[in-house]
Structure 1
Amino acid sequence: MSRKMHLAFILGHGPSQHSVAAWTLPRAYRGFTYAQPAFWEDLGRTLERGCIDMLFFADVYGVYDVFEGRPDAAIRYGIQFPLHDPAPLVPLITRATRGLGVGISVSTTYLPPYYTARLFSTLDHLTEGRVAWNVVASYGRSAAAQFSMAQELSKEERYARAEEYMQVCYQLWDSWDPDALVMDREAKVFADPAKVRKIHHQGRYFQVEGPLDVAPSPQGRPVIIQAGASGPGMAFAGRHAEIHFATSASLDGMRRYRAEVAQTVAQAGRDPADVRVLWATSIHVGETEAEARAKEAALRDAVPPEGGLALMSGHFGVDFSAVPPDRPLEELGLQETPGMQGVANMLLRDFPGLTLAEVARIYGNGMGGLRVVGSAAQVADRLEEAFEAGGGDGFMFRCGELPGSVTDVVELLVPELQRRGRFRTAYAGETLRQTLTED
């Protein structure tokens, strides 16, 4: 029997996703607005119809203001701005569905661990066990400035803080024994005090007394997602990730990266098979190849010339407005960026020899990674090839305009993958962890 793929979508709670100015396209937000419940309820039901594993929300604090030293380009073109808080969407979407999971990004750099542990336990109850946490060690001067920090932390300190943060959250989630709830009406005993403990954490960054004031939730703790690919980020993923969100534009790059993930996980004393790798994939599918290519061209043509540069500046912490457009990629200083090192590594690995202008066009049109365009059969062929050759467990789709590009996947691609035995036809598990670990 063929190994089955896991499929998820990565979005943001705002008008603009990973392709700059996709919100301007004719099929974008027709009859809906991203700021209202009806849009997300409808999108959740569409994803559920396709048996998609998870809807995953990326998030950013503040506004990208590195390009030209000001936020004008991000505000003008809606470059991942505005972004609303995704946490309230979790129970909203899961009440409209029965099997779809929802993941959200929450930072270990700015928010206290007690708050985060409490939030995710609460959401796990409200979703009946269908929530995931994308652990983010946030970067960026603009984000730091929103949380009373004069400057951003170094990458090493961000991950040192994140490591202690996780230990605090684990202790809080484990501060209740599974059988601590008694709920004996006659004896008037709600919970056994001997089975609910303070944690007395005294660390370098945090002092947390505990216990957590939320009863044990269906999953016990959220599914842990991680996308870090710098040295510290990869080591962190090796210790904690259940789902690793990875980026590569080539099959050879996928193979090499998957081997690195496996090695890192093994070095942390874990089984590499316990970490599922989902590849970032920009996808355009149509009834015909010509239709799909027309959709891709419309998305590409919508990107303003400054769009990719401004997005890259925000992600990598380099003002590319001051860099000659014909400068080679290898001379842009991305080998050691304070920002998204994993994406920078992907660009350096998969697009050697391109100039800044050429890379910016790619970046503004979906940030790189695997790109697949064609009819349902053609896209399925390419995904099957990448699935087998790349060594991953599935794909995290970056989409174009919403909700049209999601509907295209559900109505055109999913039936083709199901026909080939490559994707489920119904949810088997009750929790998101069970769905994501299903073979």
Structure 2
Amino acid sequence: MAQSQFHLGWFLGNSYGVHGWLDQWGGGTARNWSDPSLQIDLARAIDRACFDFVLLEDSSFVPDNYGSSMDFYLKRASRAPKNDPLPLVPLMLQATKHVGIVPTISTSFYPPFLLARLMATLDLMSEGRVGCNFVTSTAERAAQNFGLTEHIEHHTRYEMADEFVEVVKQLWDSWEADAVVADEAGQMFADPGKVQPINFEGKFFSSRGPLNTARPAQGHPVLVQAGGSPQGRAFASKHMDVVMAAVSTVEEMKKFREDIRARAAANGRDPDSCKVVYQFLPIVAETDSQAQEILAARQAAKDPADILAAMGSIFDIDFSIYDLDAPLAELTTNGQQGTFQRFMAMGNTLREIADSFHFALDEVAGSPDTVAAQMQEMMEEAGGDGFLIAGDLNRRYVAEITDGLVPALQKRGLVRTGFSKTQFRENLLEF
């Protein structure tokens, strides 16, 4: 395949939560937000369009940062209500043939054995089509839901995450690939010599093992992470198959990828085995002028409160107490460090920051061919392995991407038109 090809994924923010309940094209989601058919329709559409994977974001708390109250978040359906996305995974797998499904779990709160067994089960039932997105969790309210009075310190969370991944990898390896022999004549289902305890004793976790299910179909499910801080990047470059980058310029794209690849090489890894994908929110319309009108209207309608409440919930900061137009005092967070540094660098006042901050590449707008051409230019200039579509979920937008943008990319030879492999990791490593 041509070296210029790149991968496509879909980042499903607020994955099993409320989508577009006030949008013109949101359908009946206000009434049936917990009906999984919207997410299943997404999986089917991106499977047809030859996406490599969909990532199901998650969080486990009701924010109360903005205005020191849950009111703003509950009224806007921002992060709550939200169902656990894990039950979506087998439904989405059953509805598709090729696309990888990647749920999110917290290394700060999930027991490693439970996670290792769950992901092994899903990988076996799908014959190798699942991944796992590891987060350390950022919010103190989430920590309090799991019995802690305050959240674990940021650097310590990444120490835990590093050990967590070591445990689950060893548990997946506790069964050799050929341990299941199903020998009827010899009356031996699993070879006892190929299943061993791991006897892991660490600083944060311990587990005897072995798993009580077999080795995952892929050996290890695909490992995914998004962390912009130095600790997050170190963690990702050591363990991850896919690293998500939330950046907003081509220069940032290039710097992020170069840093991850250098770190991966320093860890003795082939940098090509660690795929960097960029969050991307394109606007696709029939013509360039229509798309630009939509972009201008969205920018004009931006409410600083929405941005500040959302960011406050991942930084554990109540931005409502600050004057929007006064110089912002020095702030610190135990939340998302990398995102916080980018956020604070966007201006001197909260209004400037809210107007300027972009969580992803979100200013590309045009016809399908125009957007495809810009994606090609960005990737040629910055390098990288793919884009992660992260726009709001409604069936119209899904069609604009899968039936409008993707064919334009395919005509340019930039993305796959089919799958020659059967497993998620094999497809990722194909180019």
TM range (shorter): over 0.9
SS for the counterpart of 2:282 is strand
Contact 1:247 1:370 in 2 (8 A): no
Amino acid at match of 1:422: L
Going from structure 1 to structure 2, the CA distance change for 1:428 and 1:370 (only over 3 Å counts) comes to farther
- Who is 1:9 aligned against? 10
In the TM superposition, 1:356-367 aligns within 5 A as 356-361=350-355, 367=359
Structure 2: distance between partners of 1:177 and 1:188? 19
In the TM superposition, 1:199-278 aligns within 5 A as 199-278=198-277
Contact 1:171 1:199 in 2 (8 A): yes
- Who is 1:172 aligned against? 171
Contact 2:16 2:85 in 1 (8 A): no
Structure 1: distance between partners of 2:343 and 2:373? 24
- Who is 1:39 aligned against? 38
**TM-score in terms of structure 2 length:** 0.93
Structure 1: distance between partners of 2:301 and 2:105? 30
Shift of 1:58: 0.9
Structure 2: distance between partners of 1:354 and 1:128? 51
* Alignment partner of 1:339 is 2:335: yes
SS for the counterpart of 1:166 is helix
* Alignment partner of 1:378 is 2:370: yes
How many pairs were matched up?
428
Structure 1: distance between partners of 2:71 and 2:296? 26
Shift of 1:344: 2.6
Cα deviations by residue, 1:225-257 (Å, 9 ceiling, x for unpaired): 111121211111111111000022111121122
Equivalent position to 1:390, from 382, 388, 396: 382
Structure 2: distance between partners of 1:195 and 1:428? 31
- Aligned-residue identity in percent: 35
Shift of 1:328: 5.3
Contact 2:104 2:135 in 1 (8 A): yes
- Who is 2:22 aligned against? 24
Amino acid at match of 1:426: G
Going from structure 1 to structure 2, the CA distance change for 1:382 and 1:347 (only over 3 Å counts) comes to farther
Structure 2: distance between partners of 1:173 and 1:401? 34
Amino acid at match of 2:409: L
Q: Which moved more, 1:38-47 or 1:404-413?
A: 38-47
In the TM superposition, 1:25-104 aligns within 5 A as 25-30=23-28, 33-104=32-103
* Alignment partner of 1:137 is 2:133: no
SS for the counterpart of 2:21 is helix
Q: Which moved more, 1:337-346 or 1:48-57?
A: 337-346
Shift of 1:396: 0.7
Contact 2:344 2:353 in 1 (8 A): no
Contact 2:284 2:366 in 1 (8 A): yes
Shift of 1:23: 3.2
- Who is 1:189 aligned against? 188
- Who is 1:430 aligned against? 422
Shift of 1:42: 1.9
Unaligned residue ranges in structure 1 (runs of 5+): none
Contact 1:136 1:226 in 2 (8 A): yes
Contact 1:154 1:338 in 2 (8 A): yes
SS for the counterpart of 1:187 is coil
Amino acid at match of 1:372: V
Shift of 1:300: 4.8
Q: Which moved more, 1:410-419 or 1:72-81?
A: 72-81
Contact 2:246 2:359 in 1 (8 A): no
- Who is 1:315 aligned against? 314
Shift of 1:337: 2.9
Unaligned residue ranges in structure 2 (runs of 5+): none
Contact 2:16 2:34 in 1 (8 A): yes
Shift of 1:435: 1.6
Q: Which 4+ stretches in 1 moved above 6 angstroms?
A: none
Contact 1:66 1:313 in 2 (8 A): yes
Cα RMSD, aligned residues only: 2.1
Structure 1: distance between partners of 2:393 and 2:159? 38
Shift of 1:215: 0.9
Shift of 1:360: 2.5
**TM-score in terms of structure 1 length:** 0.92
Structure 1: distance between partners of 2:18 and 2:149? 29
